[in-house]
Chains A and B, each alone.
Chain A
Amino acid sequence: MTTAPTPELLPTGAGVADDHAHHDYRVFGLLTFLVSESLMFGALFAVFLVFRGEFPQWPPEDTEVELLLPAINTLILVSSSFVIHYGDVAIKKGNVAGLRKWYALTALMGAIFLAGQVYEYATLGYGLTTNVFANCFYVMTGFHGLHVLVGIVLILGVLWRSRIPGHYTAQKHVGVAMAEIYWHFVDIIWVMLFVLIYILAVVN
């Protein structure tokens, strides 16, 4: 190795424009990653639809789905997307207390959604291995539930960091934005799942 000279360090003062400065590309990175995630759910949807086309009756007998609870759950999750946006609006005005309030409410709604999901699993009367529909049902909703859980963890992370005064400001809140984008993504996926699994089952 050559003895490379020390790269000069930047002054720590704010606002120094130099080519060492590193812009924040995390939002763009997250969006790129979500494209990949969409394909993952897309593959699951495709598997589900192929099976749906193959079976004479879908869902097969004895594995019917219930509609009321998931409908309430859908309502909760979709509204939570608006709630989290109020948090984003708040931080853009520099209102950290508002951010904390709305994000905490979102996390709570996410937790209620998951609890509803668990309750549904417990009361449906069939399990993962009952038949191919049950396989799809549990794997798809479970996989989505895992994403909701990750979303809640991200939101809790934002809440944890927002304790520090000045960590999020009206100008600097990329982490807040990323948690929100991810939450919207999880929400959109759920609406598609709801249509595929529940609505199409009733239309049948």
Chain B
Amino acid sequence: MAQAQIPVSGEYPIGQEQHPAPWKWYDYFTFNVDHKVIGIQYLVFSFVFYLIGGLMAVVMRTELYTPDADLLDPNLYNALLTNHGTIMIFGWVVPAAIGGFGNFLVPLMIGARDMAFPRLNALAFWMLPPAGLLLLGSFLFGGAQSGWTAYPPLSLITANTAQSMWCLSIILAGTSSILGSVNFIVTMVKMRVPSMPWDKMPLFCWAMLATSILALLSTPVLAVGLILLLFDINFGTSFFKPDAGGNVIIYQHLFWFYSHPAVYLMILPIFGIMSEVIPVHSRKPIFGYKAIVGSSLVICMVGLFVWVHHMFTSGTPPWMRMFFTVSTLIVAVPTGVKIFSWMATLWGGKIRYTSAMLFALGLLIMFVIGGLSGVTLGTAPVDVHMHDTYYVVAHFHYVLFGGSVFGLYAGIYHWFPKMTGRMLNERLGKIHFVLTLIGANLTFLPMHILGTQGMPRRVAMYDPQFTQINQICTIGAFVLAFSVIPFLVNVIWSWRWGEKAGDNPWRALTLEWTTASPPIIENWHHLPVVTHGPYDYGRAGQGKAAVTTSGS
């Protein structure tokens, strides 16, 4: 094997040497290779899909206001629930957290001028719009109706064309995710500024490293499951057809080997955002830097071995239930380490209740609720009773909405000034936070009760005894839908007319705040020199940028 890695001098991240001027609005609609443009492309794209997926949820909740199926055809309801889940995962949280914040922040935080492979980066982003169009287009053929899990045999017998489009869409999104992970890993391993050793790397980057390793290892397994499913639907094979010797359980294993780690793909970057937002806004060094790094890596490793807890009712043998119950409870420990580290960081800090901080605190509360219901569900004896009830729906909305979405909002409020050079309006931000917190709890808290009383998930019609609680959930969903309005107004207005942010409005110490807002192309004129840790608030050098020269 050739060792031919010699420095190629004079070579910019590809394509940028022709682009010395700041980007224009239309550059954001092209095959641009600047990591900051790609990050914003991911964020805006995914927010559009968040609105689409949210609209689907509102339509479903409206249907559930009454026990009968009086608004939607039940098949359409099935298509909506399938695509709501798929879009929120593959169209919103994953691209926003990993693609959006990851791309924008990682090179800036480690003092690199771009990602290691800028063109590959752009390619990975541009796989997503076709994937999204495939999903939306599948509604012309009835829409995939077998849930976001697409278990056979249901996925083999309903809406074949739409299901195939769904599979292709996920394979595209998965490929994009693998290419992105390769890029992140190479960037962080090879391109940190020389003055940044591993133990000075910001925690968001550590979280992204763990996320990338996890995506790299798990996504290909899902791709295999979906390829085999495609063959079963379209080419007459019988991998998952029991009557012809196939085995449906194999699909479930392939699916959950990816899709449980997918939960960590959606929350690890958010944990990273938390570890950045909390110390800055409480003016204290992060508590337990090494413990947080370690817990990210432990989650990454143990998270690969818990997937069967989704399959406790799939005829799983007792030894397997035992093993995966234990591993599931173990994986809760590193998450607890993070929660306690953040609380200890807050303790005695000079807390500023900015919108970013409010969402971070909201996450802390919501995620603990979701985490606890997760521990109950991870225990096989409880899960057998709760499986496929609304308790599960309540649980994963607490971790994914109360966790991931709150975290994404916190990140947007925190880094919007860096991305656009303008501050978001704090008053609108607080209105947004209060509405979101009320809406989320009104929608998802009563679902615990529905679940324990036995209401199954994924149904358009339900027993009339559940009507009242369902109506509370529906009202909550409307509050949530309404809560987006102040946010949208805020973002659109502030992007243009918001107060000028300056380089470092939060007086933060990580490297992205040492350049201009928005950062110049190639990020800095002269690379920054790291003189102290990323969270040394209240220590020497506090409030000063960690560099000798600024980018502006």
Residues on A lying within 8 angstroms of B by beta carbon are 1-29, 32-33, 35-37, 39-40, 42-44, 47, 50-51, 54-55, 88, 91-92, 128-129, 131-132, 135-136, 139, 171-174, 176-177, 180-181
Q: Decide: B220 and A40 in contact? CB cutoff 8 A.
A: yes
B124 to chain A, nearest CB (A): 12
Q: Which of B51-59, B72-80, B246-254, B428-436 lines the interface with chain A? A: B246-254
Kindly identify which residue among B1, B6, B10, B525 contacts A16, using a CB–CB cutoff of 8 Å. Answer: B10
Measured in the bound complex, the distance between the Cα atoms of B235 and A28 in whole Å is 37
B353 to chain A, nearest CB (A): 29
CB neighbours (8 Å) of B10 from chain A are: 10-14, 16, 21
B140 within 8 A of A: no
Among the 9-residue stretches B158-166, B177-185, B383-391, the one with 4 or more Cβ atoms under 8 Å from chain A is B177-185
Q: Are B525 and A7 in contact, CB atoms less than 8 angstroms apart?
A: yes
Say whether B521 contacts A131, CB under 8 Å: no
| A-side contacts of B227, CB under 8 Å | 139
Residue in contact with A91 in the complex, picked from B2, B178, B191, CB distance below 8 Å = B2
Contact A174 B521, CB 8 Å, known A22-B13, A39-B221, A43-B224: no
Q: How far is it, in angstroms, between the C-alpha of A5 and the C-alpha of B519 when the chains are bound? A: 11
Contact residue among A4, A18, A44, A172 (Cβ-Cβ distance under 8 Å from B4): A172
- Collect the chain B residues with CB atoms within 8 Å of residue A172's CB: 4, 6
Min CB–CB distance B9 → chain A (angstroms): 5
State whether B116 touches A29 (Cβ < 8 A). yes
Q: When A4-B516, A128-B235, A135-B237 are in contact, do A40 and B1 touch as well, CB less than 8 Å?
A: no
What residues of A have a CB within 8 angstroms of the CB of B8 in the complex? 21-24
Question: A-facing mask of B163-196, CB < 8 A → 1, else 0?
Answer: 0000000000000001101110110011100000
B22 within 8 A of A: yes
How many Å from the CB of A158 to the closest CB on chain B? Answer: 12
Q: List 25 A-B contacts (CB under 8 A).
A: A4-B521, A4-B551, A7-B520, A9-B17, A15-B9, A19-B527, A22-B8, A23-B190, A24-B8, A25-B186, A25-B191, A28-B186, A36-B178, A36-B219, A39-B217, A39-B220, A43-B224, A43-B257, A50-B247, A50-B250, A91-B2, A129-B236, A135-B239, A174-B2, A180-B2
Cross-chain contact B22 with A1 (CB below 8 angstroms): yes
Residues of A within 8 Å of B21, CB to CB, are: 6
Which of B1, B2, B237, B257 contacts A139, CB < 8 Å?
Answer: B237
User: Which residues of the partner chain B approach A4 to less than 8 Å between Cβ atoms?
Assistant: 22, 516, 520-521, 551-552
B323 within 8 Å of A by Cβ?
Answer: no
Do B186 and A88 have beta carbons less than 8 Å apart?
A: no
- Give the residue of B1, B5, B12, B518 whose beta carbon is less than 8 angstroms from that of A20: B12
- A-B pairs with lowest CB-CB distance, top 10: A40-B220, A4-B520, A177-B2, A43-B224, A6-B20, A129-B236, A135-B237, A43-B221, A39-B220, A132-B245
Which of A12, A33, A36, A132 has the largest count of B CB atoms less than 10 A from its CB?
A36
The answer to whether B516 and A2 touch across the interface, beta carbons within 8 angstroms, is: yes
Closest to B177 in A: A36
Question: Are B20 and A7 in contact, with the CB atoms below 8 A?
Answer: yes
A50 and chain B: residue at smallest CB distance: B250
- Chain A residues in 8 Å Cβ range of B315: none
Closest to A1 in B: B22
- How far does the alpha carbon of A91 sit from the alpha carbon of B2 in the complex, in Å? 9
Tell me the chain B residues, 1-43 only, with Cβ under 8 Å from chain A: 1-2, 4-13, 17, 20-23
Q: Nearest chain A CB to B182's CB is how many angstroms away?
A: 5
**B9 touching A17, Cβ below 8 Å:** yes
Residues of B within 8 Å of A131, CB to CB, are: 238, 244-245
Closest to B217 in A: A39
Interchain CB contact (< 8 A) of B225 among A14, A17, A43: A43
Question: For residue A10, which residue of chain B has the nearest CB?
Answer: B10
Q: Is the CB of B186 within 8 A of A29?
A: yes
Please indicate the chain B residues that have their CB under 8 angstroms from the CB of A27 in the complex: 4-5
Indicate whether B536 reaches chain A with its CB closer than 8 angstroms: no
Q: Is B216 an interface residue (CB 8 A)?
A: yes
Residues of B within 8 A of A88 (CB): 1-2
Kindly state the separation between the CA atoms of A88 and B6 in the bound complex, as whole angstroms.
17
Task: Specify which chain B residues have a CB less than 8 angstroms from the CB of A5 in the assembled complex.
Answer: 520, 525
CA distance A139 to B182 in the complex (A): 26
12 additional contacts (CB under 8 A) given A6-B21, A25-B191, A51-B250: A6-B20, A7-B525, A24-B6, A24-B7, A29-B183, A43-B225, A47-B228, A132-B246, A135-B238, A136-B239, A139-B227, A181-B1
Q: Which residues of B contact A50 (CB under 8 A)?
A: 247, 250
Q: What is the distance, in angstroms, from A138's C-beta to the closest C-beta of chain B?
A: 8
CA A28 to CA B120, docked complex, whole Å: 14
A22 with B2: CB separation less than 8 A: no
* Shortest Cβ gap from A175 to chain B (Å): 9
Contact B22 A29 (CB under 8 A): no
Contacts of A51 in B (CB 8 A): 247, 250
Check if A22 sits within 8 Å of B189, measured CB to CB: no
In the complex, what residues of A have CB within 8 A of residue B397's CB?
A: none
Given the known interface contacts A1-B421, A7-B521, the answer about A35 and B1 at a Cβ–Cβ threshold of 8 Å is no
Candidates A1, A28, A37, A55; contact of B245 at CB < 8 Å: A55
Compute how far the CA of A17 lies from the CA of B246 in the bound complex, rounded to whole angstroms. Answer: 60
B438 → A minimal CB distance (Å): 36
**List of B residues within 8 angstroms of A33 by Cβ:** 178-179, 182
Smallest beta-carbon distance B478→chain A, Å: 37
Q: Known contacts being A7-B522, A39-B221, is A132 close to B6, with CB within 8 Å?
A: no
Given the complex of chains A and B, what is the CA–CA distance between A31 and B193 in angstroms? Answer: 23
Q: In B255-294, which residues have CB < 8 Å from any A CB?
A: 257
Chain A residues positioned under 8 Å from B250 (CB to CB): 47, 50-51
Complexed CA–CA distance, A36 and B221 (Å): 9
Determine the chain A residues whose CB is within 8 A of the CB of B257 once the complex forms. 43
Measured CB to CB, the closest approach of chain B to A188, in angstroms, equals: 14
A2-B221 contact, Cβ under 8 Å, with A16-B10, A132-B244, A172-B4: no
Contact residues in B for A29 (Cβ distance below 8 Å)? 116-117, 120, 182-183, 186
Minimum CB–CB distance for B389 against chain A, Å: 30
Contact A40 B224 (CB under 8 A): yes
Separation in Å of the B134 CB from the closest CB of chain A?
A: 21
CA distance A174 to B421 in the complex (A): 40
Query: B217 to chain A: which residues have CB within 8 Å?
Result: 35-36, 39
Q: Could you tell me the distance in whole angstroms from the C-beta of A53 to the nearest C-beta in chain B?
A: 11
Query: Nearest-CB distance from B33 to chain A (Å)?
Result: 12
Contact B239 A40 (CB under 8 A): no
In the complex, which of the residues B2, B220, B525 contacts A43, with contact meaning CB atoms closer than 8 Å? Answer: B220
Closest CB-CB distance, A155 to chain B, in whole Å?
15
A3 touches B183 (CB 8 A): no
How many angstroms from the CA of A55 to the CA of B186 in the assembled complex?
43
A39 contacts across to B, CB distance below 8 A: 216-218, 220-221
Cα distance, A132 to B7, chains bound together (Å): 51
With beta carbons under 8 angstroms apart, the residue of A15, A17, A128 that contacts B237 is A128
B310 at the A/B interface (Cβ < 8 Å)?
Answer: no
